[in-house]
């Protein structure tokens, strides 16, 4: 089959869905690979580098969509891109079907097979295709880098001839994929790191990384944080009160707060309130990775960096993976090629849309003129 990566049309997006190295893997599966001219430039991959990897460079989106069987991209398609696609053509990209019902309906109308990388089931076998995790890992790391860049002090403690410097205190709220990556990055920069999650089973993991788990004085912590499938459930009002009380106590001490708390299918819980921001020291930094879903901090403005009256920097960027375009494209390109590997079982360039396969079924949101989202729950863990 002919597989082609579009240049991302979303303003400022630096990622690309195929890299020269992932293209080489796709060719081994028997596919021919195409990219739109300039698609990889912002991620550091020139058209010449693609050509050297055996990729055909198409002059524009229309030519690429017209020539290929499978269109791959990072962000959901825009309406214009989707309208140019034809019946039976396959699209692999993020899709966010719950947030994009009109786009889903258009994919159905066009008869396009839409495979959503954000819908890959979180089962062991699918980890290599789990774009949400690969992007969350980058976001967590980059959150620490942005924090360090906005913090006027060292992260690590030092004893120098010119004076003693204490280590920065970093609090990470939410220890899922992004939070754990943030903990790892902050510990490696030498900060004193604290972390909290409603799922107490992550305490051991946090401690093994050299950070300190923040325990609440709440006897039902174990039950309260427990949820199905490793995800968090909304907290009870009593638990939430204890959590906020603890955060209020920590706020004046923390130099950096990185929030990543999310509950599937809901707006981000508000955990870092305006009075906590007010209690923080001048020069402290908050990075709110939940900004896109409304933010964990009351004062976060999505896509903005603001400075409060008391001198606290609050970063609400929603494009952390794109800020590391080369790395994000490499990992996303690998997620895409693993997806295509599962879709090409014979390694003969023939795509088989096996709707009996949990991973393919779970990710396919439109197929053969039907909306196929939401999928039935996966049968295997
Ligand atoms: P996420 O992005 O949905 O949420 C981030 C974190 O916020 C979670 O750890 C959650 O417990 C926490 N949180 C929610 N409400 C909170 C609150 N009020 N206070 C503090 N923390 C709060 O999480 P994620 O990165 O998608 O990971 C969620 C789970 O899924 C984890 O158990 C992870 O190991 C698991 N997972 C499994 C796979 C796989 O098996 N393939 C892949 C990725 C993640």
223 has a pLDDT exceeding 50: no
Q: Is 134 a catalytic residue?
A: no
pLDDT band at 227 (very low <50, low <70, confident <90, very high): low
Atom number in ligand 1 closest to CA 178: 25
Q: Would you tell me how many other CB atoms lie within 10 Å of the CB of residue 6?
A: 27
Q: Is 127 a catalytic residue?
A: yes
pLDDT band at 381 (very low <50, low <70, confident <90, very high): low
Q: Would you tell me how many other CB atoms lie within 10 Å of the CB of residue 245?
A: 12
DSSP string, 91-152: EEE---TTT-HHHHHHHHHHT-EEEEGGG---SGGGGGG-HHHHHHHHHHHHHHHHHHHH-S
Nearest CA-CA partner of 12 in 321, 221, 231? 321
Atom number in ligand 1 closest to CA 127: 41
175 lines ligand 1 (CB under 6 A): yes
- State the catalytic residue, choosing from 46, 67, 86, 127: 127
Q: What is the pLDDT of residue 218?
A: 75
Q: What is the pLDDT of residue 224?
A: 55
Q: Is 215 a catalytic residue?
A: no
DSSP string, 309-375: TTS-EEE--S-TGGGGHHHHHHHHHHHHHHHHHHH-TTSSS-----TTSHHHHHHEEEETTEE--SP
Nearest CA-CA partner of 335 in 119, 135, 130? 130
Q: What is the pLDDT of residue 233?
A: 79
pLDDT more than 70, % of the chain = 96
Residue 232 CA to ligand 1 center (angstroms) comes to 6
Q: What is the pLDDT of residue 69?
A: 98
269 lines ligand 1 (CB under 6 A): yes
Cα gap 243→95, rounded to integer Å: 34
87 has a pLDDT exceeding 90: yes
Q: Is 130 a catalytic residue?
A: yes
Cα gap 40→20, rounded to integer Å: 9
97 lines ligand 1 (CB under 6 A): no
SS3 content of the chain, % helix, strand, coil (to 5): 40, 15, 45
pTM of the predicted protein model: 0.95
Range scoring the smallest mean pLDDT among 102-116, 177-191, 225-239, 253-267: 225-239
Query: What phi and psi, each to the nearest 5 degrees, are found at residue 272?
Result: -115, 100
Nearest CA to ligand 1 atom 41: 122
Higher pLDDT, 380 or 324: 324
pLDDT band at 217 (very low <50, low <70, confident <90, very high): confident
94 has a pLDDT exceeding 80: yes
pLDDT band at 225 (very low <50, low <70, confident <90, very high): low
174 lines ligand 1 (CB under 6 A): yes
- State the catalytic residue, choosing from 231, 267, 275, 370: 231
121 lines ligand 1 (CB under 6 A): no
Nearest CA-CA partner of 196 in 178, 217, 223, 216? 216
Residue 261 CA to ligand 1 center (angstroms) comes to 8
Atom number in ligand 1 closest to CA 264: 3
173 lines ligand 1 (CB under 6 A): yes
pLDDT in tens, 116-144: 999 999 999 999 999 999 999 999 999 99
Per the DSSP assignment, residues forming a β-bridge with 259 are 173, 288
Q: What is the pLDDT of residue 229?
A: 61
Nearest CA to ligand 1 atom 32: 230
Cα gap 4→17, rounded to integer Å: 9
DSSP at 290: T
136 lines ligand 1 (CB under 6 A): yes
Q: What mean pLDDT comes out for the span 150-176?
A: 97
Q: What mean pLDDT comes out for the span 270-281?
A: 98
Does the ipTM surpass 0.90?
A: yes
pLDDT in tens, 348-379: 999 999 999 999 999 999 999 999 999 998 77
Cα gap 138→196, rounded to integer Å: 20
Q: What is the pLDDT of residue 112?
A: 98
Mean of all residue pLDDT scores within the chain: 95
7 has a pLDDT exceeding 70: yes
Q: Is 122 a catalytic residue?
A: yes
């Amino acid at each position: 089959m002919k597989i082609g990566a579009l240049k991302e049309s979303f303003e400022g997006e630096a990622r690309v869905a195929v890299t020269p190295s992932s293209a080489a893997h796709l060719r081994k599966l028997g596919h021919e690979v195409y990219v739109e001219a300039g698609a990889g430039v912002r991620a550091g991959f020139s058209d010449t580098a693609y050509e050297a990897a055996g990729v055909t460079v198409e002059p524009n989106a229309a030519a690429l969509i017209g020539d290929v069987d499978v269109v791959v991209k990072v962000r959901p398609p825009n309406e214009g891109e989707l309208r140019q696609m034809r019946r039976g053509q396959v699209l692999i990209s993020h899709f966010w079907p719950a947030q994009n019902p009109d786009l889903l309906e258009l994919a159905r109308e066009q008869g396009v097979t839409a495979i959503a990388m954000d819908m890959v089931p979180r089962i062991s076998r699918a980890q290599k295709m789990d774009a949400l995790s690969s992007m969350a890992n980058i976001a967590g790391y980059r959150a620490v880098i942005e924090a360090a860049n906005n913090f006027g002090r060292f992260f690590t403690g030092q004893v120098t001839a010119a004076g003693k410097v204490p280590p920065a205190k970093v609090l990470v709220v939410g220890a899922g994929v992004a939070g754990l990556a943030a903990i790892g990055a902050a510990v490696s920069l030498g900060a004193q790191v604290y972390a909290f999650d409603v799922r107490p089973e992550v305490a051991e993991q946090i401690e093994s990384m050299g950070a300190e788990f923040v325990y609440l004085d709440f006897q039902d912590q174990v039950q309260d944080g427990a949820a199905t499938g490793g995800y968090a459930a909304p907290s009870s009002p009593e638990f939430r009160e204890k959590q906020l009380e603890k955060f209020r106590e920590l706020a004046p001490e923390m130099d950096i707060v990185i929030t990543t708390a999310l509950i599937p299918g809901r707006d981000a819980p508000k955990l870092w309130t305006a009075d906590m921001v007010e209690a923080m020291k001048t020069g402290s930094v908050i990075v709110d990775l939940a900004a896109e879903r409304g933010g964990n901090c009351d004062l976060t403005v999505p896509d903005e960096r603001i400075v409060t009256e008391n001198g606290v920097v609050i970063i609400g960027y929603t494009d952390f993976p794109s800020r590391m375009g080369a790395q994000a494209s490499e990992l996303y390109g690998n997620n895409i090629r693993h997806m295509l590997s599962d879709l090409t079982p014979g390694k003969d360039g023939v795509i088989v849309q096996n709707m009996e396969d949990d991973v393919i079924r779970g990710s396919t949101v439109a197929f053969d003129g039907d909306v196929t989202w939401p999928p039935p729950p996966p049968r295997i863990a």
